Each structure stands twice: as C-alpha cells, then as structure tokens.
Structure 1
Amino acid sequence: MALAETCFAQAPHLLYKESVSHSWQQAARIHLNRTLAGSSTHHRRGLLLGSFAGAFCSNSAQRNADGFFSNDAEDETHFLKPIEVDCVHPPTVVSAPHRRIIAIGDLHGDLNQTRRALRLAGLLSADGLDSWCGGGTVLVQVGDVLDRGGDEIAIISLLRWLNMQAQLNGGAVFQVNGNHETINVEGDFRYVDPLGFYEADNFVVYCEQEHNGDFEAALTAWRVACEQRKAAKQASYNWMPWNLLKMQKGMAARSLLFSPGGPLARELARHGVVLRVNDWLFAHGGVLPHHVEYGLERMNKEVSEWMRGNQNSLDQPTPIPFIATRGYDSVVWSRLYSREALEKSDDSIRVCAVLRAALEATGARGLVVGHTPQMLGANSKCQGQVWRIDVGMSSGMLNAQPQVLEIFNDEVRVLSSGSQNTYVRDKTMNGSTTSVGHYTAI
C-alpha cells in the first residue's frame, strides 16, 4: 500500500503532504454514507446533500459565530485551502490556513456538558441530531475525556462522529490525550465513576449483540445508543452499577477495552499528547523545553505504540513513555503553567521564561493547556502566550458553566455561556491591548 493510501486510511478527508486525489475524497463520502445506514432517513438524506450547516444547524448556532467566521460550509470550502497533516501516526503538526480554531478543555465523562460546549462554539446543531455546524472550523479537545463521569465512551463516539462530518466540510476534529487517558491504559481505574464501569460493560454487550462485534460500527453509533440503553436499564429492577456483580463485569469490560492493544486504547492511540495547529501548541499539561529537545513527534509515536500494544525491537511490549506520561513534569501531568501560584510575580517571571524557551524552540506563538481547573474561568498568562482552559465543566468536577477558546486571525477569545458571552483578548506577544465584546448566549 502506498504511503498516501496509508494516510488516507486513518483520516481520508484531510490533505496529507503526500497528495490525496479527489477520488479519495469521493471514496470518503461513500464511507460516511455507508456508516449512516443505520441512521434515520431524514438524517441520512441531509448528510448525503453534503451541507450539514444548511440542513441541520439552527439559527442560534449560526449566530454564535456571526461577524467572526462564516459557518456556510458550501461557500467556505470554495475559498479555504485544504488542511495539511503530517503523514505520521498520530499527527503532530497541522496546517489549517485561515481556519477558526476552537479549543475545549477537560470533559470528564459528561456528555451533556460536552454538547453544551460544542453548541456554545457554534459547532453542534441544536436539533439533537449531532450535526456538525462548524464548516471549516478546526476543533481541538485537550484531553481528559475519561474518568469522573458516566458517558466517556459516548463522548469519544461523538467527537469521532463530528470529525467524519467536519472533514467533508473543510474542517477537522483533533484530540490530545491527557493523564486520565494514559492512566486508564495503564489499568489505573481509581478515578472511574461507577457509571463509567457500567458504560463499559453496556458498550461491550451492545457491540456484540447489535453489531456482531464490529467495534468501528458500534463506536460510531454509541453516542445515540448509550442514551437509549441507559433509559431502558433505568426502568428495570436493580440496574445500578454499584451492584457488586455488575461492578466486577464493568471492571473486566473496561480492562478489555482500555488495556494496551484493546479497542479503545487503539482509538486513543490515534491521538498524540501534543499537537501543533498553525502557530499554536495544544497539550493537556504543558510542553517544557526538555520535551521539545526529546522530540514532540517522537513522544507522540512512542505513546501511540504503547497504547496499541505493539512490540519493540526485542519483541517485548512497548514500555510506558515516561517523559510523556509519568512524573510531575511530563506532558500530561505538568501543572507548571496552570497552577494558581503563577500569580506571584517572581514565580511568574521564572515560569514565563521556561514557556518562552519552549515556544522559541518550536517556533510556536502560544500554548493551550487543560488539566488544572481554573476557578475563575479560562484565562491567559505570560502576555497571552499560555491559555488555561480547564474550567471544571463536568458534573464530576465543578459542574461549571462551559467555556471554550476561539482563535482566528491572531485573535484569541473566550466564549462563555450565561446571559452574555464575553470575548476576551489578552495582551499578546506583539503587545496588543485587551479587547472585550459581548453577544447573547444560546
């Protein structure tokens, strides 16, 4: 198989640096249409028309980005250059010219809050069909989808589903793995909600009963099926997952899914721990100078190989990549840039110097991180060079109002839910001043 074909197999709708012909994009549409075979007739017809925004996006979702970025998928794709992704697995560098970028922080198993955040960003339809409304927008979720909630697999399913639609409209959905993804692959289930064990067992049964063990088909449909099956179970006697037998079944199912080489571990392996989109780096905890020296692409590859359960050159299981996944200064665990102590001036000077060194080594303009809940909401430090966007929106954390980060044309804004949304632009590297604007929330 040619290299371009190999790349296409992982993400068929993006343009890799080894060129992909229009025939591949046609094949991608066929693949998506086949995936939709189990969807409702109305939903399937709209997707075949190829205009998600026009067919399903409510006016409120479109208004969310008015004056800032066009959500007209058909008009937009005529003028935007293709997204280019380095042909490595997982991708490390993405070129998305003139794209609106949305970054979303930690989700921790809360599907309802995830949908609220996506609608806040103008990416998700409000009609319950989970249709992509973002046109050519690039969405980056910065890790910690897992733990503390009962809809972890459903969120993975939703993000995958949106990515399939986004790529047909000139956009894309990317994720980076956080510490809660890596510890689950290690078999550390300390932070799993009881409903998370129940979801794992429920998903395994659903995959076998409804899809004859076809994991890909089951995962694509799970975002809808999980809610239907959950409602049915709640109506039955003694369904709750803290029943000891059910808990044991849930733990066994979770281990099967997330252990290295397991179906969901391999799904997570499609994503790295660091991603660069245009001039911005995205990581769960942070990127330090020694990470850059080690090699960002190298770290991503090693984490992916470990999650896939691949053998090393000695025919032994790939070891856990320590620099990326272990220790207080690893990519997924570091809190250097997100801790509250950064408010102290002396500490801030030292930390910002470390950040500048990492950014200069990569040529990036700024860094976006999650991991540490920001009690006062998403914010930036170091003159806008680092944005901290974990607001603890999951009901398993702070149950805070969703916020998302919006980057477009060198402007960075925080979109907040509530009676009014506030755009915040902090001082940036070129010394530009702060600007604030408002619009009515959905």
Structure 2
Amino acid sequence: MKLINTLFCIVSTICFISTVYATTTLLDSPRRIVSMGDLHGDLKNTKKILRLSGLIDENDHWSGGDTIYVQTGDVLDRGTDTIALYKLIQQLRKEAPEHGGLVIPLLGNHEIMNLAGDWRYVTKEETATFGGYNNRVRAFQKDGFLGEYLMQLNMTTKVDGTVFCHGGIHPNFARLGLDTINDYTHHDIEAYMASGGHADPHKIFGDKGPTWYRGYALADEPNICEFADKALTYMKAERMVMGHTVQRDGEIRTRCNGKIILVDIGISWVYGGYVGALEVVGDELTAIYENGRVSLTPPKNQPKAFSGVHLEL
C-alpha cells in the first residue's frame, strides 16, 4: 500500500512524512471509510470532527483503528491554521498504519493554486504564521517543507468501489483511468509551478480537471447523472465523493441515487463552521453530525453505476 515512506524535517519543530500511496486500495472485506471535505484553515473544527468520527482521541492521536480516512483537499486558505493542519494530517498518516488504519490526503485546487503562487485567498494573518511573506514563498517551493510534501500527493484515489477527488472527475478524464490522472499530476506539476500556473499540457489543473470541475454538484439531474454513469463506468466504481462546492446548510448531499456525494459542508468558520463527515462501510453511506447519524444509503433496488459496457462521449 505504501510505495515510499521517508521522513524529512525541514523547519524547526515540524516534521513531515512523505508517503506516496497507490491510486487504488482493494479491501478483503468491508472496512470503515471516513471522508471530510474542505478544511480551509480551521484546526479547531477539524479536530472536533475527527473526534466525533472516532479518529482521534483527546490528545489528538489516532484512535480510528483500521479506519481509512480520506481528506479531499483544500486544507489551506481562507483560515489561518495551514501549518498546524498539515502537521496534524502528517502525524495521523504516520500513526494510523500502526493500528491497521490509513490516512489518504488528496490535492485540492487551493493546494495547486498556492504551489503556483496564486495567493488570492491567503490572509495576512495566515502569512504571519509562517514568519512573513518570504518564508511562506519558500515553504511552497518544490524544496520547501510544504511544497515538497504537496507535490507527493495524488489528485484522486479509489478505495474499493468509491472514488474520491476534490472537484469531480469529468468523463474525459475518467476514461484515461485514475493512474493516468495521478501520473499527469506528478509529471506536470513542477512545470505548472514554475510557470505560475500556465504550463498545463494535459489540462489536468484546468476548469474541467479533477480539482475544479463542478458539474456533478451544480448541473441539473438527470442530465448530469448520465455523465456520472459514464465516468463511474470508465473508473469501474460505484460512487464518487468530492468536496469543492460548499453545501451552505452544512449537510452532506447525495445526487444521482447516491452515485455522487458532496462532502464540502463549510467546515471552516469562514463558511459557518459546520460539523460533519461521511462514513462508508461497503454500500452503507452515513452522514455523521453532532446531533446524530443520518443514513444516506440509496434504495437497494436501484441499479449500480458500473455495467461493464463501454460508453462513448
């Protein structure tokens, strides 16, 4: 499951684990998967949700056993807790495997924006946590303590029948396969950074790329469900989980009979500080909230997404 596991400590008191995970994780039997959407610089609410989901204890250490935790990107921007959040995620990445668990962080559009020098959502207060502008610039360079870490992350992952990404995987990318999406990401990102966000030969970082595409969240049903079925068929998956598009009432949404799941509920205080996470166990989908658990599982008699039939766009 782990391909690379090296420890590097670049700034005082902050050590990051550089671990590249395989694109696909196959399970021998159903295991608990927990996913959270955009954190946007809010450490307090992130910890609150991790505790509510049983993933960390009162001392912020992993307590999730063999749970697989997938974070769908946009850890930074808008709020102020960038360094602390990445430090926590890296700590949990190290601790979870010791208990049979796994932590899979993915790239969001805000990670990619910061790597390319697009700081339009960075606050002065957050820059100050790095010790000033120049220190923050260095942190996101390819050999910086955040740049080097983020360049190792995948853009998408599949755990059994569930695909996770930040924005949504358009059929034009889904037909390439998840390995190719991640290969393009790793191959192109250094040039994209060096060009200030212009060099993008495969359009992987563009508005229809997996970190930006909003069609599954915003387009009308049932039309968008046909797109979803095509994408899921190409990826041999049952459902797609994504963040990026905020659900302003703080509730996790499903679309297309549970094939599309939207987990950006506005966790950051900037969006209202909502508390919630998605739990997947086999085909059972559950939203975890402060006031209880809500089943999101679609009716059993509905057809599954993957039919094995080749579909043309």
Taking structure 2 as the reference length, what is the TM-score of the superposition?
0.85
Question: What is the CA–CA distance in structure 2 between the aligned matches of 1:354 and 1:123, rounded to whole Å?
Answer: 34
- Consecutive unaligned residues of structure 1, counting only runs of 5 or more, are 11-30, 32-37, 39-87, 202-249, 312-317, 433-442
User: Does the Cα contact within 8 Å between 1:131 and 1:165 map onto a contact in 2?
Assistant: yes
CA distance in 2, matches of 1:140, 1:369: 10
- Give the counterpart letter for 1:284 in structure 2: H
Corresponding residue number in structure 1 for 2:210 = 331
> Compared with structure 1, are the counterparts of its residues 143 and 194 closer, same or farther at alpha carbon in structure 2 (3 Å cutoff)?
same
2:221 paired with 1:291: no
Extract unaligned runs of 5+ from structure 2: 8-12, 14-18, 304-313
> Which of 40, 47, 56 is 1:108 aligned to?
40
Compare relative contact order (CA 8 Å, sep 6+) and give the higher one, 1 or 2: 2
User: Structure 1 residue 93 and structure 2 residue 24: aligned?
Assistant: yes
State the partner residue of 1:382.
Answer: 256
Amino acid at match of 1:384: G
CA RMSD of aligned residues (A): 2.6
The count of aligned residue pairs is 288
Which residue in the other structure is 2:121 paired with?
191
Contact 2:166 2:211 in 1 (8 A): yes
**Counterpart in the other structure of 2:308:** none
Q: Distance in 1 between matches of 2:192 and 2:121?
A: 26
Higher strand share: 2
Once the two structures are TM-superposed, the CA of residue 7 in structure 1 deviates from its matched residue by: 2.5
Shift of 1:90: 5.3
Aligned residue number for residue 144 of structure 1? 74
1: CA distance between counterparts of 2:31 and 2:259? 19
Question: Are 1:404 and 2:286 an aligned pair?
Answer: no
Partner of 2:307: none
1:336–1:351 CA contact under 8 A, matched in 2: yes
**CA deviation map 1:245-270 (0-9, x unaligned):** xxxxx222121111344331220122
Between the aligned partners of 1:296 and 1:136, the Cα distance in structure 2 is 24
- Percentage of pairs with the same residue: 31
Distance 2:26 2:178 in 1: 16
Instruction: Describe the SS at the equivalent of 1:367.
Output: strand
Which amino acid in 2 is paired with 1:180? H
User: Which has the larger Rg?
Assistant: 1
Q: Note the 1:180-259 alignment, pairs <5 A.
A: 180-201=110-131, 250-259=132-141
Q: Shift of residue 139 of structure 1?
A: 0.1
Corresponding residue for residue 300 of structure 1 = 182
1:385–1:429: 8 Å Cα contact kept in structure 2? no
Counterpart pick for 1:162 among 88, 92, 115? 92
Distance 1:190 1:321 in 2: 24
